[in-house]
Amino acid sequence: MKLLRSLLFVPGNRPKMLEKARSFTADWVILDLEDAVPPHEKDTGRVMVAEALRSGSYQAQVIVRVNGFNTGQTEQDLTAIVLPGVAAICLPKVESQDEVEQLEGLLGQLERQRGLDAPGIFLMIETALGVLNAYAIARASRRVSALCFGGEDFCRDMGAVRTKEGQEITFARGQMLLAAKAAGVAAIDTVYTDLNDLSGLQAETRSMRGLGYDGKLLIHPAQIEPVHLAFRPSAEEISYAQRVLDASAKASAQGAGVCIVDGKMIDAPIVVRARQTVALAKDQLAQT
């Protein structure tokens, strides 16, 4: 399983950062041609990202975030950067399934022309309309791997004041998570912008993991380890999960549908969660 705990943005117009990113321990790096690159450097950014992709491999899985269709630059971006080594394309500020279908068509043309494997699609949900249409957006293509919530742009679209507590994005966070899970794709939480508060980042990430989020968008390499720690099942969680699985296996062998662990009834949903916890622990151990 490819872990999705950490997805780190890397500015596409900064060669030193593009080079340093080769050794970052994030699960994914997002080479960014959108918000991180000012309008007058878009052409330069395309060239730099393409050169970085051709110059060698990255330790992390590579996503490239292109500019949205409303900018008129999406096709230029894709033509420049759909290259070997790109695992996924990220489309920002998606509001309709038509945009996803359009992206899929452009990717298909480039793949056939260049003989490439099909990259996945990550979609940024960053507006009120995007949140309302999130399920249809996620279902628009089989290539869609994840929905990513963009809290900063969402607040701008809503005219809301962004706070550390996050009450202003609670509903939208939940709606996008619900849409992603209903569509069977991963859900990635928004960035945490306070670079001086790594403990706050870890606490928020742990809370989002508890809700069902699969990963977190990051804006600095220092955020990688706190996020990985937040997604790592504790020794207590792993021990409990293993005891649940052992008790469930014993009950099943005896023809029983439920069992008791620590005085609590254990049924099928709890067993599924226990399997997920053990599997996540194994995956993280294998990829450290």
Q: What is the mean pLDDT of residues 48-75?
A: 97
Whether residues 265 and 126 fall in one domain:
no
Q: Give the ranges where the chain is alpha helix by DSSP (H).
A: 15-20, 42-54, 74-81, 97-114, 128-132, 134-138, 151-158, 170-183, 198-211, 224-231, 235-253, 268-286
* 49 contacts 63 by C-beta, under 8 angstroms: no
Sign of torsion, CA 51 76 133 182?
negative
Q: What is the mean pLDDT of residues 228-236?
A: 85
Whether residues 46 and 139 fall in one domain:
yes
Predicted confidence (pLDDT) at residue 1 exceeds the cutoff of 60: no
Whether residues 207 and 266 fall in one domain:
no
CA-based angle 25:176:207, to the nearest 5?
A: 55
Whether residues 212 and 265 fall in one domain:
no
Using pLDDT thresholds of 50, 70 and 90, give the confidence band for residue 17.
very high
Predicted confidence (pLDDT) at residue 257 exceeds the cutoff of 90: no
In a domain, 17, yes or no: yes
Last-in-domain residue among 192, 214, 231: 231
pLDDT at position 287 is: 64
Q: What is the mean pLDDT of residues 252-280?
A: 79
Q: What is the mean pLDDT of residues 261-288?
A: 75
* High-pLDDT (> 70) share of the chain, %: 98
In a domain, 259, yes or no: yes
Overall number of domains in the chain: 2
Q: What is the mean pLDDT of residues 172-199?
A: 98
pLDDT at position 134 is: 98
In a domain, 266, yes or no: yes
pLDDT at position 153 is: 98
Whether residues 123 and 98 fall in one domain:
yes
Whether residues 129 and 244 fall in one domain:
no
Whether residues 92 and 163 fall in one domain:
yes
For residue 152, with 0-12 CB atoms within 10 Å meaning exposed, 13-18 middle and 19 or more buried, which class applies?
Answer: middle
pLDDT digits (tens, 9 = 90+) for 109-168: 999 999 998 899 999 999 999 999 999 999 999 999 999 999 999 999 999 999 999 999
Note the residue count of the chain: 288
Predicted confidence (pLDDT) at residue 56 exceeds the cutoff of 70: yes
Whether residues 274 and 177 fall in one domain:
no
CB atoms within 10 A of CB 254: 8
> How far are the Cα atoms of 144, 211, 252, 269 from residue 276, in angstroms, in the given order?
22, 14, 19, 11
Last-in-domain residue among 188, 215, 231: 231
Q: What is the mean pLDDT of residues 58-73?
A: 97
Q: What is the mean pLDDT of residues 189-196?
A: 97
* 206 contacts 228 by C-beta, under 8 angstroms: no
In a domain, 201, yes or no: yes
In angstroms, rounded to a whole number, what is the distance separating the alpha carbons of residues 122 and 111?
17
Predicted confidence (pLDDT) at residue 177 exceeds the cutoff of 90: yes
Whether residues 118 and 225 fall in one domain:
yes
Helix axes 198-211, 170-183, angle to 10 degrees: 50
pLDDT at position 288 is: 57
pLDDT at position 279 is: 77
Q: What is the CATH number of the domain that holds 71?
A: 3.20.20.60
User: What is the phi/psi pair of residue 165, to 5°?
Assistant: -65, -35
User: What is the phi/psi pair of residue 151, to 5°?
Assistant: -70, -35
Whether residues 186 and 243 fall in one domain:
no
Whether residues 187 and 243 fall in one domain:
no
Helix (H) or strand (E) holding 91: strand 88-91
In a domain, 212, yes or no: yes
pLDDT at position 72 is: 96
Predicted confidence (pLDDT) at residue 256 exceeds the cutoff of 80: no
In a domain, 1, yes or no: no
* 262 contacts 239 by C-beta, under 8 angstroms: no
In angstroms, rounded to a whole number, what is the distance separating the alpha carbons of residues 150 and 123?
10
For residue 196, with 0-12 CB atoms within 10 Å meaning exposed, 13-18 middle and 19 or more buried, which class applies?
Answer: exposed
Q: Using alpha carbons, select from 236, 238, 223, 220 the residue that is nearest to residue 284.
A: 238
In a domain, 20, yes or no: yes
* 59 contacts 26 by C-beta, under 8 angstroms: no
Predicted confidence (pLDDT) at residue 67 exceeds the cutoff of 80: yes
Q: What is the mean pLDDT of residues 254-262?
A: 81
pLDDT at position 286 is: 64
Domain that holds residue 202: 6-231
pLDDT at position 274 is: 76
Whether residues 148 and 259 fall in one domain:
no
In angstroms, rounded to a whole number, what is the distance separating the alpha carbons of residues 239 and 61?
31
In a domain, 74, yes or no: yes
